[in-house]
Amino acid sequence: MDTYLFLKKFLQEMDETFSYGWWDENNICHEETMQNFHELYRTSSLEHAVTYHMGSCIEQSLYQREYFTYHNLPTKLYALVSEKQGGTDSDFRIHCFTLIFKDNLVYHFEHASAHQRKGVYIYPNKERCFAKLKRQYNFDLTTDTKIYEIDTIPTGLSLQEFKQYAEKKPLQKQLYII
């Protein structure tokens, strides 16, 4: 099956079976909301996300990577960290996403987006994808955005702890393509 069609089919399956949500420090589920996310969020295990068919971009990206790897699609997991320069410790955004490398193309699979950006996007290389994502997740022109390749996601981390964890991973080459 064509890679794009395979990914679109899986996106439809995720729409039918997986929703956006997260668990807080007291293991309370917050479905389809970002309220208090910065203060209360904790990373969940892949098993927890699969059991409840729910996760933030962090858990959903981990699930997607496992699914694509199982189907022999070369996949990598990334964390985008966007910080407002001169802001407070809470002036940052994180977005996790998966890229599939197949047929000399890069496929960006996006299901868990609080900004309704679901879809399968195709790029000639990962740098083009990174440039687009950096523009989408910037606060404004004073934002410093970096992308890190991550391999695992420890459970129980706060959002701030996850940010610190990601920042210890390999920083991806940053090209500025307009």
Q: Would 171 be classed as within a structural domain?
A: no
**130-144 confidence digits (pLDDT tens):** 988 888 877 665 568
* pLDDT value for 178: 42
Mean of the per-residue pLDDT values of the chain:
88
Please count the structural domains in the chain.
Answer: 1
Closest CA to 147 of 129, 172, 123: 172
Q: Would 98 be classed as within a structural domain?
A: yes
Is this prediction's pTM over 0.85? yes
Q: Which of the residue ranges 52-56, 88-92, 98-102 would you say has the lowest mean pLDDT?
A: 88-92
Range of the domain at 156: 3-166
* pLDDT value for 134: 85
Q: Would 59 be classed as within a structural domain?
A: yes
Give SS3 for 127: helix
CA 163, CA 178: separation in Å to the nearest integer?
27
* pLDDT value for 114: 55
**18-41 confidence digits (pLDDT tens):** 999 999 889 899 988 888 888 999
Q: Would 82 be classed as within a structural domain?
A: yes
Q: Would 140 be classed as within a structural domain?
A: yes
CA 33, CA 53: separation in Å to the nearest integer?
16
Pseudo-torsion of CA 162, 59, 95, 31, nearest 10°? -110
Paired strand residues for 120: 109
Question: In this structure, what are the phi and psi dihedrals at residue 60, rounded to the nearest 5 degrees?
Answer: -65, -40
Paired strand residues for 110: 119
Give SS3 for 95: strand
Reported for 44-47, long-range contacts at CB under 8 A and 24+ positions apart, including other chains, are 44/155, 45/155
What DSSP designation does 96 have? Answer: E
Q: Would 175 be classed as within a structural domain?
A: no
* pLDDT value for 1: 65
